[in-house]
Amino acid sequence: MTTNILSRSLHDVGLAAWFGGTLANAVGLNPAAAQATTAGDTGAVANVGWDRWTPVNAAAIGAHLAGSLAQLVGNRGRLGAQRGVGRMALLKTGLTVAALGVTAYSRALGRRVSADTHVPAESGTEPTTSTPGDVAAAQRQLQTLQWVVPALTGALVVVSSYAGEQQRPTSVLQGIVDRVTP
């Protein structure tokens, strides 16, 4: 009997860190940075926090992708044989691509914000009137995108739960029967 414990673990732990870390930073770090004593320190706190999170997030995403690919290979027989598995895999792939795209764009914006660590800010994603224009524009975009990544990765958690349910023996049998009967 073949198991996918390693691939499931990489998939799930990577996704959990990607989702949880970005949500925690949006909920905690960005608003908490506003508690700094000066607007320049606010920007510094947020920038240092996000810059420290970036390598951990990259490792989490890498683990998730490695686990996802290994699961796809491990379940390739079910993709064609069990009704619904292919659609679920396409949905997961689409959500993953979207989450990767938003994460990469957010990081590019974050680099613009953290290029000068002590840029004045109200919070991690709110500029002041003295924030340079290009940084302020990036912060305003990040104010929305900080919620898009957890929304997409949270959706991936839900679809992954559905995928797990599809692997129950009764679901596999029903999916195969549904595939071969008109």
Place of tokens 């680099």: 111
Choose the weakest-confidence range: 2-11, 88-97, 110-119, 167-176. 167-176
Q: What Å distances lie between residue 176 and 10, 121, 159, CA to CA?
A: 28, 57, 20
Q: What Å distances lie between residue 118 and 17, 78, 99, 140, 157, CA to CA?
A: 28, 53, 29, 17, 36
- Which H or E run includes 52? helix 39-74
Provide the number of structural domains found in the chain.
Answer: 1
pTM over 0.95? The answer is no
Please give the residue range of the domain that contains residue 48: 5-180
Report for 56-60, 113-117, 120-124: range of highest mean pLDDT: 56-60
Q: Report the SS3 class of residue 108.
A: helix
HSE-CB at 60 with a 13 A cutoff on CA atoms is 20
